[in-house]
Structure 1
């Protein structure tokens, strides 16, 4: 199997890389939506992330990625029915691709036809949601995903559980995954219900700096010539990012949010007319993740200013009288809030 392109070797696209790392530190963020031009490294970055992250523990042969000490009811394999429990192993963090043409049975799971015909046994065949448990579910061209699959993902993402009731089967299993979607906005918009489920949304654009474009070409050529040597060359920098993520996960819940920062976060969302409370909750979680990645024990207002566009842009109501776009609206609101505090 060819080694993925190293995450540390990706040139530019800092917002995209930061969003993916924050989602890796704080799964409760709700996932990352990456929209932008073709050939800007969206899929490359997502697949590189899975290789970068620390391995997870499960039992050998488990298809639900169960925690070794907490086997799921649906997983007869990990519960060791009729035999000894399989040994504990470490596997790469799951990164499951959901094809646009996938069937509902392939996504959710279905009756194991082979066992039903050969052994006369009614058994469950896990789907992609089971494979993505404790990892990432990646959908390229997510804006082209069929509506019935969008509904399935919304249910699983909201509850963290996949429920299958069909063909005489009644199965429930964990489906806790970080949803990552990418696409080209020219090919259509995302359904509002699914758009709102993403904690972070970033726009990526083609790099216009000449030296950076040349560096992209050089690195890609070196990788395609000898993937193993290229990965080894970037190994130390990959390990440094991995260590940052591990350390950030450990200290995440200890990161404090000063009352003044929390108050200004709410004022920002009110000023922008953000519906519901998801905006503030995501700002808080993303701020914690950003501070933890920097090794800091408290969120600052600078953290909020840096992450506000990726948290709030896709939550803004469309204003037909404002041609500036979402990011300038957020920047104006931040400046207005800052000015108000300066004159207070």
Structure 2
């Protein structure tokens, strides 16, 4: 798909279908329907699996410019079922899960709940550390002499998606910060007399063009799934992409309404998969298959096996299956493992080609 316009302005955006600025009386146009996106099946599947089971660890999409990476992320977020959150809480704390609540919500006797869209927050490349983690509210301090914490982008992204375009160009000190938060699920701010700790659990989604630089290995390892996004080569696909995008740009509301039934069907499937996920066991046979394959291709650590089996379980849940099968492992192996292979100086083929070869040897053609 073609990327959404205004992508280059890099302002923070907090999406949700039809969400406008509070009190402004204006509305943004609805997100492009996820079901209407032509091609990019691997990216769509990876994002869907991460939405079903956030413990998979996020999605990295590397590929050509103008292939719809940003559009696809925002389309999925608008598709997802609305979530329950504590009304007025800047961290969208879940009202019925104390383990995911901030200190204020934990101390409250009554927690009024509201329904709201899943947050999708952009982290611009030029964002300062204060903008990301939060800082002292200077206006409140100067006007009232009070020390008050102003939440940052990590607070807004809690229980949602944190999206970084051109993630390979992100400054090192922001990368280090994200690694700490991703590992702990908490954002800790101690500065200027403030000491604040709040939940910061989000699905990290990054996109970029590999020609502009590689991603730091530490951050690359934090992404559960990695997909390659290519410009469509089939003439029919390119024509259909332009046709749908033109129809959306001319009449967004009508285009979204045309795809509404398919969006509702997909939303129900995602909701059902989330409800079915915990009931799907990971048998010793499936765990053995995953571990054997990861050992055969030489992945480092155990994160490869964890991501592989979690993604396979999410796929089985999405398809309404009663058990995880070896075929599910095979179908998610490429995005789960392609970025975890050690470089072989004697093998000049890319990681995807090496994985394809290993999959055929292990699971058969």
TM tier, smaller: over 0.9
Does 2:344 align with 1:308? Answer: no
Corresponding residue to 1:151 among 173, 176, 180: 176
Does 2:170 align with 1:170? Answer: no
Is the Cα contact below 8 Å between 1:74 and 1:171 reproduced in 2?
Answer: no
| Cα distance in 2 between the residues matched to 1:79 and 1:119 | 25
Q: Which residue of 2 aligns with 1:320?
A: 345
Corresponding residue to 2:214 among 172, 180, 189: 189
- Per-residue deviation, 1:88: 2.2
TM-score normalised according to structure 2 size: 0.89
Q: Which residue of 1 aligns with 2:131?
A: 106
The 3-state SS of whatever aligns with 2:218 is helix
Does 2:74 align with 1:47? Answer: yes
Deviations 1:102-146 (A, max 9, x none): 000000000011111111111110000000001000000000000
| Cα distance in 2 between the residues matched to 1:294 and 1:157 | 29
| Cα distance in 1 between the residues matched to 2:168 and 2:305 | 26
Q: Which runs of structure 1 show a deviation greater than 3 angstroms over 4 or more consecutive aligned residues? A: 69-76, 84-87
1:1-344 correspondence to structure 2 within 5 Å: 1-69=28-96, 70=98, 72-75=101-104, 87-338=112-363
Structure 1, 247-256 or 174-183: larger mean CA deviation: 247-256
Aligned length: 336
Q: Which residue of 1 aligns with 2:18?
A: none
- Per-residue deviation, 1:331: 1.9
TM-score normalised according to structure 1 size: 0.94
Is the Cα contact below 8 Å between 2:31 and 2:74 reproduced in 1?
Answer: yes
Q: 1:100 to 1:74 in 2, by over 3 A?
A: farther
| Cα distance in 1 between the residues matched to 2:363 and 2:142 | 68
Q: 1:74 to 1:114 in 2, by over 3 A?
A: farther
Is the Cα contact below 8 Å between 1:68 and 1:88 reproduced in 2?
Answer: yes
The 3-state SS of whatever aligns with 1:298 is coil
Is the Cα contact below 8 Å between 1:283 and 1:307 reproduced in 2?
Answer: yes
The 3-state SS of whatever aligns with 2:198 is strand
Is the Cα contact below 8 Å between 1:164 and 1:171 reproduced in 2?
Answer: yes
| Cα distance in 2 between the residues matched to 1:79 and 1:9 | 45
| Cα distance in 1 between the residues matched to 2:72 and 2:350 | 26
| Cα distance in 2 between the residues matched to 1:68 and 1:305 | 38
Q: Which residue of 1 aligns with 2:19?
A: none
| Cα distance in 1 between the residues matched to 2:103 and 2:211 | 42
Alpha-carbon RMSD across the aligned residues, in angstroms, is: 1.7
| Cα distance in 2 between the residues matched to 1:297 and 1:113 | 54
| Cα distance in 2 between the residues matched to 1:123 and 1:260 | 53
- Per-residue deviation, 1:87: 4.1
Is the Cα contact below 8 Å between 1:64 and 1:75 reproduced in 2?
Answer: no
| Cα distance in 1 between the residues matched to 2:221 and 2:132 | 21
